[in-house]
């Protein structure tokens, strides 16, 4: 790979990570799904399995979360010598606003109150270039720390 090809590959890979965050935050499950290969393996929190089931898991968790904000930083990309595979590690911070009344919300105790739930961690991905496009074939998501507090601001509209 020449330098231009390497730079372009890195930019395409970053775009997949950003596209995932945009899809999750907008609950655009088609956009989220577009980031993952059909034979993808996804490990995230209590979930482990294929991408379509992950989307079902994520959409169920986020039903009581009207607003999220996922940010990616410190993206480290390693490309294979042939330029057909890559490994990434990207830090994320995910802010979640949990609605009041979400008493049975599994990831965080809310006591029925509106709650801010913040998760910081890492997405460790394996990607491959298939049919000329980069795609995630494996994701291991690690939650390094989490915090939740009663929400102090106005509700999300």
> pLDDT (tens digit, 9 = 90+) per residue, 68-95?
999 999 999 999 999 999 999 999 999 9
- The structural domain count of the chain equals 1
Looking at the predicted structure, is the pLDDT value of residue 107 above 60?
Answer: yes
Least confidently predicted of 1-10, 27-36, 97-106, 137-146: 97-106
72 lies in some domain: yes
b/e per residue, 25-46, with b = 16+ CB within 10 A?
Answer: beeebebbbebbbeebbbebee
64 lies in some domain: yes
137 lies in some domain: yes
Cβ atoms < 10 Å from Cβ of 54 = 23
The residue range of the domain holding 132 is: 3-150
Looking at the predicted structure, is the pLDDT value of residue 102 above 70?
Answer: yes
157 lies in some domain: no
Q: What is the C-alpha to C-alpha distance for residues 21 and 28, in angstroms, rounded to an integer?
A: 10
| Residue 142 β-bridge partners | 122
156 lies in some domain: no
pLDDT averaged over the chain? 92
Instruction: Give the pLDDT score at 71.
Output: 97
Give this prediction's pTM. Answer: 0.90
Q: What is the C-alpha to C-alpha distance for residues 88 and 71, in angstroms, rounded to an integer?
A: 15
155 lies in some domain: no
Least confidently predicted of 90-94, 97-101, 122-126, 145-149: 97-101
Mean pLDDT of 115-144: 96
42 lies in some domain: yes
For the domain that residue 34 is a member of, what is the CATH number? Answer: 3.10.450.50
63 lies in some domain: yes
């Amino acid at each position: 790979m020449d330098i231009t090809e390497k730079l372009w590959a890195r930019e395409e890979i970053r775009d997949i990570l950003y596209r995932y965050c945009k899809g999750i935050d907008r609950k655009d499950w088609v956009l989220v799904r577009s980031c993952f290969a059909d034979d993808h393996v996804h490990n995230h929190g209590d979930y482990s399995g294929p991408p379509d089931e992950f989307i079902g898991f994520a959409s169920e968790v986020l039903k009581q979360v009207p607003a999220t904000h996922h940010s990616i930083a410190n993206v480290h990309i390693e490309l294979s010598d042939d330029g057909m595979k890559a490994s990434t590690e990207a830090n994320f911070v995910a802010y979640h606003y949990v609605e009041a009344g979400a008493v049975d919300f599994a990831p965080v105790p809310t006591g029925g109150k509106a709650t801010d739930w913040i998760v910081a961690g890492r997405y460790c991905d394996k990607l491959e270039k298939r049919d000329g496009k980069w795609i995630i074939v494996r994701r291991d998501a690690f939650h390094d720390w989490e915090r939740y507090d009663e929400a102090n601001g106005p509700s999300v509209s």
